[in-house]
Amino acid sequence: MKAAVKEGKLAQQIESARSRLDALHQRAGTSLSQQGLLHEALEELSIALEELQVSAEEMRQYNDELATSRLEVEAERQRYLELFEFAPAGYLVTDPWGKITEANSVAATMLNCRQDYLEHKPMISFLREKDHKEFFELLNRLVKEDMAGEWTVQLMLWNKTESFPAALSVARIVDGEGRLTGLRWLVRDISERIQAEQVVRQSEERFRLVVEGVRDYAIFMLDPEGVVVSWNTGAERIKGYQAQEIIGKHCSSFYPPADIERGKPEQALKVAAAEGRFEDEGWRVRKDGSLFWASAVITALRDDSGKLRGFSKITRDITERKQAEEALRQSQTLLKTFMDNCPSMIFLKDTEGRYLYTNPEFERTNRKRSA
């Protein structure tokens, strides 16, 4: 508007100069002395007119550039409004004291109210009373610096009877001199995330209770280097260590010295890391130094990116089974020795009359009969 007024004044000045120039031209036929003065005046007016015309052209160019800039600013503002309004998250703009000046439709939907209802409302009115102090502390900090991270709160709906968990992020709006003029708030409903986290916690708790309740198996976790990081009651019963005694120590503590010298603990972890799983049976050492025969399974644990996070290890004391197998093997050896050396014929047939076993004496007797 001011530029247009200035351009109008320049046009008036140019028109006035032209009128004066025409009048001087008409008076140019007077006396010689007046003619000299008129020529000087004509020359000065001509120069002034040219300068006014140049100024007028510059003013027109300036007005054109200003109009273009205004269109660009308006287009940019329209883009901002569209991004603000159609963003998938809730957006609020407040003054430095937390009074809402703008709100998009998503924020209004979250708070279950009309969009225009939010304007000029203090943001604190949507917070629980227990969060008011923290909100004011946050506003005070934002006068000087941006807030890092998120602030998790319960946002109240406009009727004050319901609420939902929300994650708030805020950025400062400052003027050219760095003074705080407002705040932009990003509001995200994290109800589903909270529910998912609760499900995970419940699942982890159930798993922990199951693991803690298992007494026949030692179930524990190792970090990527083989250091014990968890310990269940079964491990305590089988290996003899309390959790506080063994957590932080290397799993090689469970192996006999000969196996440690051969690098068996490290080799087991190496195979598990490469193949995902390692199974093995062998002697293990309890806290009191006694040996037991163990069946162990080591499983590599990796995150979503494939990075090794550690190992789970399940160990079972199968000493009694090993002893029973050894006793059976010895009795089978003894029985075979007896039957092989028995002077009487011994044989065993199935239900269809096929021989399953014959002792040497049976075979010798049959050979003699055949001869």
pLDDT for residue 354 is more than 50? yes
Asked which of 7-21, 188-202, 222-236, 311-325 is least confident by mean pLDDT, the reply is 7-21
Asked which of 5-9, 102-106, 122-126, 206-210 is least confident by mean pLDDT, the reply is 5-9
Superfamily holding 87-189: PAS domain (3.30.450.20)
- CB-side exposure of 51: number of CA atoms within 13 Å? 7
Q: pTM for the whole thing?
A: 0.49
211-317 shares the fold of 87-189: yes
**Confidence class for position 77, pLDDT limits 50, 70, 90:** low
**Confidence class for position 32, pLDDT limits 50, 70, 90:** very low
3-class state of residue 240 by DSSP: coil
Asked which of 75-84, 169-178, 203-212 is least confident by mean pLDDT, the reply is 75-84
Tell me what pLDDT residue 159 has. Answer: 77
Q: Which residues pair with 279 in a beta bridge?
A: 297
- Could you please report the per-residue DSSP string of 144-162? TSPPPS-EEEEEEPTTSS-
Question: In sequence order, what E strands does the chain have?
Answer: 90-94, 100-103, 151-156, 163-174, 180-189, 218-222, 277-285, 291-302, 308-317, 347-349, 355-358
How many Å is the Cα radius of gyration of the chain?
47
Residue carrying structure tokens 């000029």: 120
Tell me the average pLDDT across 260-282. 95
Angstrom CA distances, 137 to 99, 165, 354, stand at 15, 20, 93
Measured CA to CA, the distance from residue 179 to residue 296 in angstroms comes to: 66
pLDDT for residue 114 is more than 80? yes
pLDDT for residue 306 is more than 70? yes
**Dihedral sign computed on CA atoms, order 32, 37, 41, 43:** positive
Measured CA to CA, the distance from residue 112 to residue 336 in angstroms comes to: 86
For the chain, give every domain's residue range: 2-84, 87-189, 211-317, 331-370
3-class state of residue 303 by DSSP: coil
Which helix (H) or strand (E) segment holds residue 365: the answer is helix 360-370
Name which of 295, 276, 292, 275 is nearest 284 in CA terms: 292
Measured CA to CA, the distance from residue 246 to residue 232 in angstroms comes to: 11
Fold for 211-317, please state it: Beta-Lactamase (3.30.450)
Measured CA to CA, the distance from residue 148 to residue 302 in angstroms comes to: 30
